[in-house]
Structure 1
């Protein structure tokens, strides 16, 4: 028997549903028998969400290639280490050191100082605040707060819009961004520094990697921070120093920013029920995997206490997995921890007032917002 498939339009396939309500489409597919289902997205496509599928897709880099995946259609993410296949291991080895947990600790103080320059009212929209706070912290980590904040905001703003806005070409904006990055990189190379740009500028293509890293890191961290604040406001027992890390992990489980990952097949893939041709899309869903009731108790509930035990192997993938684990995993955790600690230092109580936390999938998975909370 062929693999199952969600309800499909006879002519348009799954594209209309993918454009309008992709999470509903995925959730319908997850209710079908097995843990693999097909989609018609203009190309043959298969979605899997079992630990076995995740491990296979994220470790067999010869069969499952990054070039030609969904990231290619978004200019912000099209290129650099994200889409590199040949020579990825060597390139990643060169870029890893400044993003290591130990190296990033040297930046914690300046990230903390930059965050405290962001005004915090007693009542505020957690989503809007997270956007501004993460922008400040990234500027501090990458550029020691020397980059033009207006240009940085203008560069990242289109990523917050629904498709097709993030996929539209912006040659003039990208040229301005690259020129500003190049000028600052030359200053770092001649005068020295210890921010992330200083390290990245030493490598061929380092300026481009910086631009892509900013695009990959801003909304992902912003949305995770906003959701973490919202959940902590509804679960005050976790709004304490020891509760922040498990709350972050639980937030990333429920709402992984990279809700869907994609690869292209370099060769035909025999799935038993059918054979996918070379060039087909192979998709994995951290969103579905982290809500699979076969591996998670009460999967839709916010329960940070579940992190007293290790997660099921290959079922928790907010930063991907294998050799292509997100380069910015330690940076993201540092920013999230610092932002939540700042809130905790600013008030002992956090309460949700009103908002719309419904997930809105785009380049990343974010809350619809606003998410208004009170800190006291």
Structure 2
């Protein structure tokens, strides 16, 4: 007999608001409690009361279903749709159109193209200060400058770019507020630079995207999606190395980055909408349900990882369980900027002198992306 999704375990609710208040003020403790209650019942799914039917799953099997059944778990109506920075382009394109659109975008973000951009990004990075500094704003600046180099050969006005990206680092509802004048200025600047590329040619990302249908929109959205995710991963990696100098070697940096992304995935929660009713392990999920998957919960699941809360780069000597490590999503919808972000971060780590942690607060702080609450004050050794 199929059970109603209303019978699923759920975190503690507040009278009158369900889970909305805790979702706004403290979503990580909320979902951790939900996962714990689901595990106690032998399941991998729990319910949230967010004003409509919503469920969160955290097992590899759930992740695989959400990220591969693209006709049932659709992006239209997901959380991305309410954030103007992410509301459009390939992010909100569903099957069957998604595959063709993604295929047109892939070459610009592939390994060969990223390798061509590598030296340009290296030259644009922010010098490491001689005095103690906060790794979080430093990472913010160096990622912004390097993305400017990769996308626009450094031609985009940095003051405008900083103003455009700044709201993404603020708590909700700030990133969801409309900013028509700012967006218009950014789009005009992208269009101006794109017209130059179409006439004169070029070898940056804008040169690859400008000729494509909707390419300028994809430029703006992918740039916004890349900045904070890469910034937060880099800041956490710098902090980890400042606290664990034994891992400050180029051959260990990939494992350090993987461990950072396991514990602190910038994309801490992914969302889809159900286009039809689905049965999941004896529970019927109605059409229109908000279906969430959490790389944060999966990456910390004690059933999947030994001592899951410990920072242990050595665990990456073996491959992770399938569909248990999803900092860049998975399947057809794997993050478009995966190679770009990894190359940028690993090159910065390789060229940064050994650091020492002074003081800071690395508590994960969720917003559009997951980052450290900060500050993260470090200094050269």
TM-score of the superposition, structure 1-length normalised? Answer: 0.97
2:152 counterpart residue number: 143
Correspondent of 1:105 among 91, 102, 115 = 115
1:180 counterpart residue number: 189
In 2, are the aligned partners of 1:30 and 1:288 still within 8 Å (CA)? yes
1:234 counterpart residue number: 243
User: In 1, Cα distance between the equivalents of 2:324 and 2:335?
Assistant: 16
User: In 2, Cα distance between the equivalents of 1:271 and 1:242?
Assistant: 42
Correspondent of 1:279 among 288, 291, 300 = 288
Q: Name the SS of the counterpart of 1:246 in structure 2.
A: helix
User: In 1, Cα distance between the equivalents of 2:323 and 2:22?
Assistant: 28
User: In 2, Cα distance between the equivalents of 1:335 and 1:278?
Assistant: 40
**Any stretches of 5+ residues in structure 2 without a counterpart?**
none
How far the C-alpha of 1:210 sits from its partner, in A, is: 0.4
User: In 1, Cα distance between the equivalents of 2:52 and 2:337?
Assistant: 31
2:46 counterpart residue number: 37
- Residues 166-214 of structure 1: CA deviation (Å, up to 9, x unaligned): 0000000000000000000000010010000000001011111000011
- 2:230 is aligned with 1:225: no
How far the C-alpha of 1:273 sits from its partner, in A, is: 4.2
User: In 1, Cα distance between the equivalents of 2:128 and 2:333?
Assistant: 37
Deviates more, 1:215-224 or 1:26-35: 26-35
User: In 1, Cα distance between the equivalents of 2:271 and 2:106?
Assistant: 23
- 2:283 is aligned with 1:308: no
- Residues 244-300 of structure 1: CA deviation (Å, up to 9, x unaligned): 111011100000000000000000112244322111100000000000011101111
User: In 2, Cα distance between the equivalents of 1:373 and 1:12?
Assistant: 41
- Residues 321-360 of structure 1: CA deviation (Å, up to 9, x unaligned): 01000000000101101111120xxx3x321100011111
Residue correspondence of structure 1 range 30-109 to structure 2 within 5 A: 30-32=35-37, 33=41, 34-86=43-95, 87-109=97-119
- Residues 143-171 of structure 1: CA deviation (Å, up to 9, x unaligned): 11111000000000000100000000000
User: In 2, Cα distance between the equivalents of 1:29 and 1:187?
Assistant: 52
- Residues 205-258 of structure 1: CA deviation (Å, up to 9, x unaligned): 111100001110000000000000111111111011111111011100000000
Q: Which 4+ stretches in 1 moved above 3 angstroms?
A: none
Correspondent of 1:206 among 195, 202, 215 = 215
2:138 counterpart residue number: 129
User: In 2, Cα distance between the equivalents of 1:43 and 1:201?
Assistant: 39
- Over the aligned positions, Cα root-mean-square deviation in angstroms equals 1.0
1:374 counterpart residue number: 379
1:351 counterpart residue number: 356
Q: Name the SS of the counterpart of 2:252 in structure 1.
A: helix
How many pairs are equivalent? Answer: 371
**Any stretches of 5+ residues in structure 1 without a counterpart?**
none
User: In 1, Cα distance between the equivalents of 2:129 and 2:145?
Assistant: 13
Q: Name the SS of the counterpart of 1:259 in structure 2.
A: coil
Deviates more, 1:74-83 or 1:29-38: 29-38
In 2, are the aligned partners of 1:141 and 1:195 still within 8 Å (CA)? yes
User: In 1, Cα distance between the equivalents of 2:127 and 2:162?
Assistant: 15
Correspondent of 1:339 among 344, 348, 355 = 348
Q: Name the SS of the counterpart of 2:238 in structure 1.
A: helix
Q: Name the SS of the counterpart of 1:264 in structure 2.
A: strand
How far the C-alpha of 1:43 sits from its partner, in A, is: 1.2
- Residues 103-159 of structure 1: CA deviation (Å, up to 9, x unaligned): 2101111111111x5452342111011000000110010011111000000000000
- 2:278 is aligned with 1:269: yes
